[in-house]
Amino acid sequence: MKKLTAELIVISLVTVLLLVSINEYAGPPEIPEIERTEQVMGTYATITIIDGNTTRANIAMDAAFDEITRIEALMSLYNESSEVSSLNRAGTNWTTLSRDTIYVLKKADYYSEISNGSFDITCNPLLNLWMVKVKKENRMPTPEEIEDARELVGYEHLIIDEDRSEARFDEEGMSITPGGIAKGYAVDCACEKLTEAGIKHALVNIGGDMRAVGDKSGVPWEVALQNPRNKSEYITIIKLDNESVTTSGDYERYFFEEGKRVHHIIDPKTGYSADECISVTVITKNCVDADALSTAVLVMGPERGKALLDELGVGGIIISADKRIIKF
């Protein structure tokens, strides 16, 4: 019991806020390090490149940011001309989509299936209820409002025709939100552009979704997990070499209503914010997978979530609502 108490004291100081790269450990001084930050996808993206050819590095940097901007234009929920917005407006009518959007929809469908619906990009009606209506009206939703929104959620009702590159809903009023997967995909696309340009050492970070291209000139890239209750504190260091890492938590978009924390990761089965985990950090090769899995596991909870990640052979850190740390 004393051991458990001591662990809880430590854990209370180590709640994950987000992932931040550690830049004070630069590569060898003779190899230039180029870094740029831009505002994209509703957050900030930072790309760091270590390359002896600064001309090549800057050309690659431009290509990577152009790629992120392209993905944002396709998948932004807030851009009326995006493919996601077109799909949401079209309802049960078929919408022609790009290869990129179809790929992300298929990935989302896969993670919905293996998580038994805990990851579900069709939860946009619930997200709108909580993060727009409830926040604006400053009141908790009624059970009827929650049930009405839940009836418009269900990944199995998003029909994807990969051969024709089209998608539609089979129920009117449904809509998707790609927020739990699109950033990860954009990170992957940016890394592909860097690799195509001949870059061997780089780190792409979009709002805490990160992927490393190679190592950091002979040593791993170091990424810190930050304490959400005290941003000056770091929990642990994750080392990346050709890997990706993301963290999902109850602190990214949240507010308090009637003393209850309301955040943007909704459990589709209950209609309420997921409440079994404070945060989930996942490490995979591709960032799109880490992005979706961290969200899915946050909704599934520590036990079921860890079981899924164990089955997939994926490592990471779960911090449960009762402040247990589960490393695997």
pLDDT of residue 93: 98
Q: Which domains does the chain have, with CATH numbers?
A: 2-327 (3.10.520.10)
pLDDT of residue 134: 80
Q: Report the distance separating Cα 138 and Cα 258, nearest Å.
A: 9
pLDDT at 229: 58
Give the model's pLDDT for residue 6: 32
In which residue ranges of the chain is pLDDT below 70?
1-30, 227-231, 251-261
Number of other residues whose CB lies within 10 A of the CB of residue 39:
8
Residue 226 belongs to what H/E stretch? strand 221-227
Contact 246, 287 (CB under 8 A): yes
Query: What pLDDT sits at residue 132?
Result: 86
Return the axis-axis angle of helices 83-90 and 99-114, rounded to nearest 10°. Answer: 70
pTM of the complete model beyond 0.85: yes
How far is residue 258 from each of residues 84, 139, 152, 157, measured CA to CA in Å? 33, 8, 26, 34
SS3 labels along 130-172:
HHHHHHHHCCCCCHHHHHHHHCCCCHHHEEEECCCCEEEECCC
Helix H or strand E encompassing 40: strand 33-40
State the pLDDT at residue 232: 76
Q: How far apart are CA 304 and CA 256, in angstroms?
A: 27
Distance spanning both ends of the chain, measured CA to CA? 23
134-177 tens-digit pLDDT? 878 888 899 999 999 999 999 999 999 999 999 999 999 999 99
The whole-number pLDDT of residue 25 equals: 44
